Amino acid sequence: MSAMDFDELLNLEEQYYQEGFKEGQEQNLENNFLEGKQFGLQVGFQRFVLLGHMLGLCDFLESLNMASTNLTKNIATIRELIEGIDMSNDEEEVENLEKTIVKLKNKFRTILLLFQRQMKQAKKKPLTFDDIEDLSRVIGGEIKGFVEDEETTDAKTAQDQAQDW
């Protein structure tokens, strides 16, 4: 066998190892980034679905023209609070968001009481904050079962909601 001395061989082994290592490391970083991104998508979605939900219901409630200054004022406050929320994931923002959500929920409950009072006159089963929050959590995959009224309890829905998240 021709000339390849021991040192040369060792160097070659090391070189090949380093080539492989670099490739593996790059693949690992890429995998990690994508794994994190997928998780970020999920958590971002879950954290904001209830906010949008409350805003959508505010739009609906305003369309009813319930002629209550209290209601108008509270809806304006809710819009303001939501507008002030940043959708990044900075530490400061996350802390802000938690505080804002508590305030928002309280404001929203007040609005809902006004609405419920009106609906009572119409002899309708009230739409409660729990109904709303539960729906948000089902959409966000945080709870699976959901019973709002009789027609949502069919088997098809239950099956769809049994997906693994």
Partner 1 sequence: MDNSMDDVWGSDSDIEIRKDDEEQLRSYDLRKLREIHAKRGYLDGIVSSKETNLQQGFNAGFPTGAQLGFQVGKIIGVLQGLKYKYGDEDEELKRDYELAKRELLISALLSKSIFTESFDLPNGHAAVDKWTDIVDKYSNKYNVIKN
Distance, CA of 75 to CA of 107 (rounded, Å)? 8
Binding of partner 1 by 160 (CB under 8 A): yes
**Interface pattern 128-157 for partner 1 (x via CB under 8 A):** ---xx--xx-xxxx----x----xx---xx
Whichever of 21 and 106 has its CB closer to partner 1, that residue is 21
State the nearest-atom distance from the C-beta of 109 to partner 1, in Å: 15
Which two structure tokens, joined as six digits, stand for 10? 């060792």
Distance of CA 45 to the CA centre of its chain: 3
For the chain, state the CA radius of gyration. Answer: 27
Binding of partner 1 by 120 (CB under 8 A): no
Count of all residues that appear for the chain in the document: 165
Residue 72 CB neighbours (<10 A)? 14
Q: Which stretch binds partner 1 (CB under 8 A): 66-74, 98-106, 127-135?
A: 127-135
Name which of residues 10 to 69 contact partner 1 (CB under 8 A): 12-14, 16-64
